[in-house]
Amino acid sequence: MQIDLSSHIVKVYLTLKVENAGSTPTSEVLLSFPPTQADHLATVEALVTKGKRKKTTLVRLDVKPTELPDAPNDAKYFTIYLANPLKSGESTTIEILYLLTHSQEPFPAEIAQSESQLVYYRDSALILSPYHIKQQTTFIKTPSTKVESFTRVEPSNRAGTEIKYGPYEDHPPYSFSPILIHFENNSPFAVVEELVREVEISHWGNLQVTEQYTLVHAGARHKGVFSRVDYQSRPTLNGASSLRYLLARLPPRVHSVYYRDEIGNISSSHLRTDSRKSELEIEPRYPLFGGWKATFVIGYGLPLQDFLFETSDDRRYLNFTFGCPLLETVVDKLTVKVVLPEGSKDPSAVVPFPVEQHLETKYSYLDVVGRTVVVMEKKNLVPAHNSHFQVICLLHLQANLHACGAFDVGVRVLLVFRGLCSLPAHRSFHTQVKHRSIRNKKIANSSKLSLFRLQ
Amino acid sequence: MSNSSTSDPLKPFKLKTKQQELLIRVSILCLVYILAFITRLFSVLRYESMIHEFDPYFNYRTTLYLTQHGFYDFWNWFDYESWYPLGRIVGGTLYPGLMVTAALIYRLLHFLRFAVHIREVCVLTAPFFASNTTLVAYFFGKEIWDSGAGLVAAILIAVCPGYISRSVAGSYDNEGVAIFALLFTFYLFVKAVNKGSLAWGLASAFGYFYMVSAWGGYVFIINLIPLYVLVLLITGRYSMRLYVAYNCMYILGMLLAMQIRFVGFQHVQSGEHMAAMGVFFLMQVFYFLDWVKHMLSDTKLFQEFLSITVTCAVAAGGIALGVGMASGYISPWTGRFYSLLDPTYAKDHIPIIASVSEHQPTAWSSFMFDFHILLFLFPAGLYFCFKRLSDATIFIVMYGLTSMYFAGVMVRLILVATPAVCLISAIAVSATVKNLTVLLRSKNKVAQIGSTKGTSSAKASSKASLDQSQPFPKNGAMALLFGAFYLLSRYATHCTWVTSEAYSSPSIVLAARGAHGNRVIFDDYREAYFWLRQNTPPDAKVMSWWDYGYQITAMGNRTVIVDNNTWNNTHIATVGRAMSSYEDEAYEIIRSLDVDYVLVVFGGVTGYSSDDINK
């Protein structure tokens, strides 16, 4: 078990070697969490290696939250469904990654500008398990060598940025030995309290993305004064824990990027583009210290043919990333709105994880009946949620014209005009979609690969 | 059109000379309309689509409130966020014309399904009205001189820096709309005087109403028009046309203006508006005398009657005014009005008016900066006006002279003078160019046609007279014409340069050149305001010098102690004292004002000279 505390998102890698000690074959493995952790759990993934030696590939396993009636102390469970049932006496290795947010508590809770930020992390030296543990070792990686204190559960020792607990032998189910680590963590605790992403599909060939952020520095609260002169002259010493800039990773071929807030443009941003990705480095108007807030909007346009494709049954689908493009950021509440072109019908969304969905109507430039908006909401997101989702809808030119039959002549003329304007775009879909879809597969593959490299 | 040899297929498209002229005129006007708009967009291109300066932020905030809450809430708005703990009755202390105009444009655009933000509407309101002003200038010029002068006036006013300074994109201030309203009212009134029609008088009354709702400068109209009427009466140009125009405009305009809460009953109660009322009664006396003169055929009897009536009327008026003043029914002139008539008045009596930099007397350099060649063309235009005196030219002469005087007293009133200067200069340019071209043409014609007697007698006589005085009239005319065009082109380049360099800075964002020639942007004001907005409690009270009041309430969304609407001098003085005392004394004052945050601008580190230490 490895716990990575180097940023404010806690990454836990579990390598479980599971043995079926029972008599019947089983395909389910239970994973349990104490309720305090379960609340902050952003994502759980389980993988299993297949193949031998060099040809190993990783296969993702299904993980689902389950309720057990006799759970001690309200422990929460996740069930991992193995691909092949495990026979009696057999064993397999499962790689598990889970991410915890809001799990490092700043102590002291208030610091001045020149102080660095110390945090508590609470966990157990032994993993909470409904099974008997034969042997366990836990490694905890801290961001720097500065560790104020840590709970000793023998055998345990510390070397550099790593604290090692264990190996512990033969513990009964639901063993728990709480540990508390007090260490320095100056990585900015960037938390987006609310993010609204609006993806607007325009048949003029553009995909307009508007993202409204409410950013907060969730670290130790700032105390006393903020001196800009000190901050400017020696930034590493004064304001080590401040949030200076953020990096947003945007899709390639991004254009017309803007970065502004309610009172106007924010001039401190840089955009770097190459053929594979675009990076937008943004600085808030003021450096964020603990407890400080900033709201801002990022917007950009993307070429439509990179994201909109056609299915075999003449429907169109949008393929776009779900999560927040900012790196190393926790999003407490994310709302993704997909604004479909006027006149589109039967929208449905395919998202790889459970989200709340509903429909809205939005009026934009020259709209008559309004545009259908697919709204998806999810809480507690980490960058690992940046997977693709699809919105499928039906869009017929005829439907467009039928819809406007009820309206007066002027409106009809307007719509016909707009329909005519969007005709060339429709035609070009047919030709472009074929090779785009191939490319799309490639992208999907590469995203999978990168996901595996993470483990 | 020009090629007449291939006539057959083009024949239906061939235009007559009159139609050609109309086409040229309309296309020139369209181009001027566009030019006036786009020359004001420098600030948007250089910086961004944002509101400039100080007062526009208040206007923007109120417009936002108007669009969000509707007109009645806006009209009855009590603003707790300014002048803490007094508050401000916003609906009763502002000129709503600008906000209502912007809100109407916003509604219209949304009705037409243009999902624009109200900020963009506010930013572009001033350029839009500047474009409309060029059209009004054209018609005004046409009314007082001819369509040529109108065209030149439209071109001159489109780029004149004196006007651009207050109407670039983002300077969302009353003046941006008010200059349009001012010129429009004057145009309608002159039209009404020329036509003597009730409809035009009614239109001018509505124009006046719009002006009253938009800007406090309406006092200029309500004093200039009576003065003009008085001059016409004295010079014996009294006519029925004047009677209809003035009475209609005054009565209706006054009644309409009373609907604006900030103006209220000032038209009958304030000393500044009494001139109009006096002239109104004088008109009645004149009408009565006219009638009596018509009835009485005996001139001697009439003379006697005249002297008695005039004495009685003047005495009655004087007594009424005296009683009104003494009883306090008619309020005396305000400080700003006094300081206009006597430039030294403000310095001695009302330091807060004198402290504002735009209330200072104008320097010659800024006249030159804002008017360029118009400054020399203005007297020439006056000469032409005097040469061809009519009701309309008398009006423009009076407008020009009075507004020039006021422009000399206060820098900001250059704005009021600009339309008059442009119109009068346009008359000069148009008349000169016309005379020169007539000279050139007649010469050519004479040379070509020879003995034909087609030329009119006026042309012939002018040619004859010029022939006598000058040896090379044609060459001289050509040289003068080139000189005129050279000067005008210099004017155009100067205007563009001034607009881009001097008048297109939002003054909130400062731009400078870095060591490597790159553009460095100082955005510290907005940084501070946005920090206040995001990281202070919503009911926090912020103290600062009054300059920043409007910006703190608009961008920081926090309560301020004083702001740019300097209506309570005691309050301002208290804050000023707190700002300039020693810290422990200041702390007491600040505590007594229940202040949570103090905003101080310090430019010592970056070398920004206009900070609070410099106040």
C-alpha to C-alpha distances, A27 to A46, A63, B564, nearest whole angstrom: 14, 12, 74
Half-sphere exposure of B593 (CA within 13 A, CB side): 32
Confidence of residue B22 (pLDDT cuts 50, 70, 90): very high
Pairing of strands A10-19, A57-66: unpaired
Q: Give the residue among B269, B287, B153 at the shortest CA–CA distance from B229.
A: B287
From A294, A364, A365, residue closest to B534, measured CB to CB = A294
Residues in A 236-265 with any Cβ partner in B closer than 8 A: 261-265
Mean pLDDT within B60-82:
91
B371 touches A: beta carbon within 8 Å: no
B165: amino acid identity, one letter: S
Q: Give the residue among A271, A299, A96 at the shortest CA–CA distance from A196.
A: A299
Per residue in B283-294, pLDDT (tens digit) is 998 898 888 888
| Residue A455 confidence (pLDDT) | 31
A266 touches B: beta carbon within 8 Å: yes
Beta bridge partners of A381: A331
From first to last of its 455 residues, chain A has per-residue pLDDT tens of 788 888 888 899 988 888 888 888 888 888 888 888 888 888 888 888 776 666 677 788 888 888 877 777 778 888 888 888 888 888 888 888 888 888 888 888 888 888 888 899 988 888 888 888 888 888 998 888 888 888 888 788 888 888 888 788 888 888 888 889 999 888 888 899 999 999 998 878 889 999 999 999 888 888 888 888 888 887 777 777 888 888 888 888 898 899 988 888 888 888 888 888 889 998 888 888 888 889 999 999 999 888 888 888 888 888 998 888 888 888 999 999 999 888 888 888 888 888 899 998 888 888 888 888 999 999 888 888 888 888 888 876 544 444 444 444 444 445 444 444 443 333 333 333 333 333 433 333 333 333 333 33
Locate tokens 């239970």: which residue?
A30
CA distance A258 to B115: 18
pLDDT at B17 over 50: yes
Distance from CA of A195 to the nearest CA of B (A): 16
Distance from CA of B534 to the nearest CA of A (A): 6
Residue A85 lies in a domain: yes
Per residue in B192-221, pLDDT (tens digit) is 999 989 999 999 999 999 999 999 889 999
A367 touches B: beta carbon within 8 Å: yes
pLDDT at B231 over 60: yes
Mean pLDDT within B95-124:
92
Range of the domain at A266: 190-399
Using only C-alpha atoms, chain B has a radius of gyration, in whole angstroms, of 28
Half-sphere exposure of A154 (CA within 13 A, CB side): 0
Cβ–Cβ of B115/A365 closer than 8 Å? yes
From B115, B526, B531, residue closest to A264, measured CB to CB = B526
> Between A154 and B409, whose confidence is greater?
B409
C-alpha to C-alpha distances, A18 to A76, A427, B605, nearest whole angstrom: 20, 55, 65
CA distance B74 to B65: 7
Residue A432 lies in a domain: no
Contact A162, A140 (CB under 8 A): yes
B552 touches A: beta carbon within 8 Å: no
Residue A447 lies in a domain: no
> The tokens of A37 are what?
């952790």
CATH architecture observed for domain B521-598:
3-Layer(aba) Sandwich (3.40)
Cβ-based neighbour number of residue B361 at 10 Å: 12
DSSP secondary structure letter of residue B413: G
> The tokens of A420 are what?
């005519």
Q: Give the residue among A357, A362, A352 at the shortest CA–CA distance from A376.
A: A357
Interface predicted TM-score (ipTM)? 0.80
Locate tokens 């007062």: which residue?
B55
Strand order in the sheet with A178-184: A104-106, A118-124, A178-184, A147-150
Kind and range of the H or E element at B460? helix B457-469
B507 touches A: beta carbon within 8 Å: no
| Residue A204 confidence (pLDDT) | 80
Residues 6+ apart with CB under 8 A from B597: B532, B536, B540, B541, B542, B543, B558
Same-domain pairing of A175 and A255: no
Same-domain pairing of A151 and A260: no
Residues 6+ apart with CB under 8 A from B339: B345, B346, B350, B353, B354, B359, B409, B410
C-alpha to C-alpha distances, B111 to A361, A364, B518, nearest whole angstrom: 17, 11, 43
Kind and range of the H or E element at B190? helix B174-195
CA distance A194 to A188: 18
Same-domain pairing of A146 and A275: no
Distance from CA of A127 to the nearest CA of B (A): 41
Residues in A 274-293 with any Cβ partner in B closer than 8 A: 285-286, 291-293
CA distance B551 to B50: 13
At A20, phi and psi to the nearest 5? -85, 105
Same-domain pairing of A209 and A176: no
Residues 6+ apart with CB under 8 A from A267: B509, B521, B523
CA distance B437 to B434: 5
| Residue B11 confidence (pLDDT) | 64
What is the average pLDDT value for chain B, to the nearest integer?
86
> The tokens of B489 are what?
């082109």
| Residue B487 confidence (pLDDT) | 92
**Selected residue of B47, B534, B551, B553 to mutate for chain A interface (largest A Cβ count, 10 A):** B534
Chain A residues touching B523 at Cβ < 8 A: 266-268, 285
Residue A324 lies in a domain: yes
CA distance A131 to A77: 13
Per residue in B469-490, pLDDT (tens digit) is 556 677 888 898 999 999 999 9
Domain boundary among A149, A184, A219: A184
Chain B residues touching A265 at Cβ < 8 A: 47-48, 50
By CB atoms closer than 10 A (0-12, 13-18, 19+), residue A79 is middle
Q: Comparing A357-366, B97-106, B516-525, which segment has the lowest mean pLDDT?
A: B516-525
Same-domain pairing of A61 and A155: yes
Same-domain pairing of A241 and A167: no
From B48, B531, B605, residue closest to A264, measured CB to CB = B48
Cβ–Cβ of B115/A293 closer than 8 Å? no
Q: Tell me how many domains chain A contains.
A: 2
Burial pattern A113-135, b for ≥16 Cβ within 10 A else e, equals bebebbbebebbbbbbbbbebee
Pairing of strands B541-543, B597-598: parallel
Cα distance between the two ends of chain B? 65
CA distance B105 to B122: 9
Cβ–Cβ of A261/B531 closer than 8 Å? no
Q: Give the residue among B39, B38, B31, B34 at the shortest CA–CA distance from B501.
A: B39
Same-domain pairing of A20 and A85: yes
Contact B330, B267 (CB under 8 A): no
Confidence of residue B458 (pLDDT cuts 50, 70, 90): very low
From A267, A364, A368, residue closest to B523, measured CB to CB = A267
Cβ–Cβ of B530/A365 closer than 8 Å? no
A368, closest residue in chain B (CA to CA): B113
Helix (H, G, I), strand (E, B) or coil at A342: coil
| Residue B456 confidence (pLDDT) | 42
* Sequence-distant contacts of A82-85: CB under 8 A, at least 24 apart: A82/A26, A82/A27, A82/A28, A82/A29, A82/A48, A83/A48, A83/A59, A84/A27, A85/A25, A85/A26, A85/A27
Task: Give the domain ranges of chain B.
Answer: 521-598
For the domain that residue A102 is a member of, what is the CATH number? 2.60.40
Same-domain pairing of A156 and A231: no
Cβ–Cβ of B534/A292 closer than 8 Å? yes
Residue A66 lies in a domain: yes
Q: Give the residue among A336, A332, A322, A327 at the shortest CA–CA distance from A387.
A: A322
Same-domain pairing of A375 and A245: yes
| Residue A440 confidence (pLDDT) | 39
Q: Comparing A150-164, B51-65, B234-248, which segment has the lowest mean pLDDT?
A: A150-164
By CB atoms closer than 10 A (0-12, 13-18, 19+), residue A297 is middle
Confidence of residue B464 (pLDDT cuts 50, 70, 90): very low
Half-sphere exposure of B426 (CA within 13 A, CB side): 33
> Between B442 and B372, whose confidence is greater?
B372
**Chain A / chain B CB contacts < 8 angstroms:** 47
Cβ–Cβ of A292/B530 closer than 8 Å? no
CA distance B442 to B461: 11
Same-domain pairing of A168 and A229: no
Contact B79, B90 (CB under 8 A): yes
Chain A residues touching B531 at Cβ < 8 A: 285-286, 292
Q: Give the residue among A47, A42, A41 at the shortest CA–CA distance from A62.
A: A47
